Amino acid sequence: VQSTVHSMNEQYLNGRCVSFNRPEAPTDISNECKKRREEGSIKDSASLTVGTSSLTQRQVSAPETTCTPKHNIFRSHSESHVSIMKALNKCSNHNGELTGDFSKPIALPTVEGGKHPDLKVISVDTMADLLRGKYCKQISSFRIIDCRYPYEYEGGHIKGAEMFHHPQMIIDHLMAQEGAPVITKEGTPRHVLIFHCEYSAERGPKAQRLLRENDRTTNKEHYPALHFPETYLLEGGYKAFFEKYSELCTPKCYVRMLDSKHAEDLKHFCGKSKSWQAENKQSNSHNALPRTGLK
């Protein structure tokens, strides 16, 4: 019996030992797993490549989308600068003097070397020729702007002259113009203004500059077009003209600004002009934009 039991135990133990041996993995399964891992790595690398290429495409195409609006903005700015560049080129390439809108040469001969180099100045002889019709083919109409005070104007003025003794009268006259200014072609009849005061030393030049400055400001969106592109200053003023062409004045007389008979009138009109200048200067300073440091 003992031998039989011992034999059975040996067989049982031997069976347990055999059952606990780790089986080897099948060759076909191992190859299948390896194949799947390789395919997975290939897919991962492929997806990474596709993602990288798409990212590269986005990076390359991104500047194209940003360039389009910049191109449009540049085009709109260039279109607005075309007229300015043409005007400046025409002005720089022309030997003579041009009108304020740079469209054509001025119609009247000017005097050089005066006290107001920024203004176009004509002689009393040219003024007389204009009154007598010498320039009727070039100039359709002209207006003589007398900037002296009322007592001076009433005492004697150039025939056909209009009195604009106060700066606000110049601005009001400009504001009365309707519609946008149009640049006329060369050969078109002109409409010119001639400014003067007693000596054409202060009041006349100031009025002429004031008109041009406000004309530019009002029509800045239509640059370089102006309502009054051709303006002149009479050299020597009414005094010089009266001394040589008194027959073209009415009445044939000359009242000085400092005439003792009109001391109170002088004080009154000078005070009004100075008051207007102070108020206008203060108004402009309040309406001015803050400086940015840019020129």
197 catalytic? Reply is yes
SS3 track for 7-50: HHHHHHHHHHHHHCCCCCCCHHHHHHHHHHHHHHHHHHHHHHHH
Beta strands, E only, the chain? 121-122, 139-146, 157-158, 162-163, 190-196, 231-234, 249-250
Closest to 199 (Cα-Cα) out of 109, 110, 116: 116
* The 190-196 sheet, strands edge to edge: 121-122, 231-234, 190-196, 139-146, 162-163
Give the C-alpha separation, 108 to 281, whole Å.
34
Amino acid at 104: K
Q: Where would I find the H helices in 94-164?
A: 124-131, 150-155
Determine which one of 17, 67, 147, 197 is catalytic.
Answer: 197
- What's the rounded Cα separation, in Å, for the pair 72 and 295? 26
Residue where the block lists tokens 């007398």: 146
Residues identified as active-site:
197
